[in-house]
Homo-oligomer: A and B are copies of this chain.
Amino acid sequence: MIQTRRIGAENSEMWARLVDAAEQVIREDGYAAASTRRVAQAAGIKPSLVHYYFPTTDDLLLAVFKRGAAQSDAMIEHALASEDPVRALWRFFSDTSRTALTMEFMALALHREGLREEIARHSEAMRARQTELFERLLGDRLGEIGAPAGLSVILAAIGRALVMENGLGIGAGHQEARALVETWLGRLLPRSESSEKS
């Protein structure tokens, strides 16, 4: 679905520089701040060059999202391969930097049809992968949790809430919530396995 008008190559140095700049702007001031001018300024180039690589602003935002999504995918696979995959996933979910960016894109996607599909598709894929992981790792031990997909939803939900509220300066109950998650994970994944790590 790449538009024919785009000339800037996806593997060029400038392309990466622009995606970097856009991501930085989004992190600092939100997606609404990612205007042609602002991004160009952050990248140290002229505004029209942005449109040379990304015909529309949505194209640029999508590129930032896709790169972040690929990184998330890699992080999940890395967590999957670690010694304590479930706790690694929880760290992934509650990672401030990455989750803050994810939240920006979710907020953006809510009102930008062009991006919604891509973002939704990726979220579903990530969830499916995680669900598969939980199933394989926890299997019969899921017990009361019932379904691994639910666990994925809940961990993601709590991680996002902590990050967003943190950004707003809200902290009440956060430590308790974290402790609660730890308790659950401890019951799912007996302490013995994880205490060997540190």
State whether the Cβ of A170 lies closer than 8 Å to any Cβ in chain B: yes
CA distance in complex: A146, B187 (Å): 14
Q: How far is the CB of A38 from chain B (nearest CB, A)?
A: 12
State whether the Cβ of A56 lies closer than 8 Å to any Cβ in chain B: no
What are the 5 closest A-B residue pairs judged by CB atoms, nearest first?
A150-B176, A149-B173, A157-B161, A147-B176, A2-B44
Stretch at the interface among A57-65, A74-82, A103-111: A103-111
For the complex formed by this chain, how many copies does it contain in all? 4
Contact pattern, A 96-108, Cβ under 8 Å of B = 1, otherwise 0? 0000000110110
Residues on A facing B (Cβ under 8 Å): 2-3, 7, 29-30, 32-33, 41, 44-47, 103-104, 106-107, 109-111, 116-117, 119-120, 123-124, 127-128, 131, 144-154, 156-158, 160-162, 164-165, 167-170, 172-180, 183
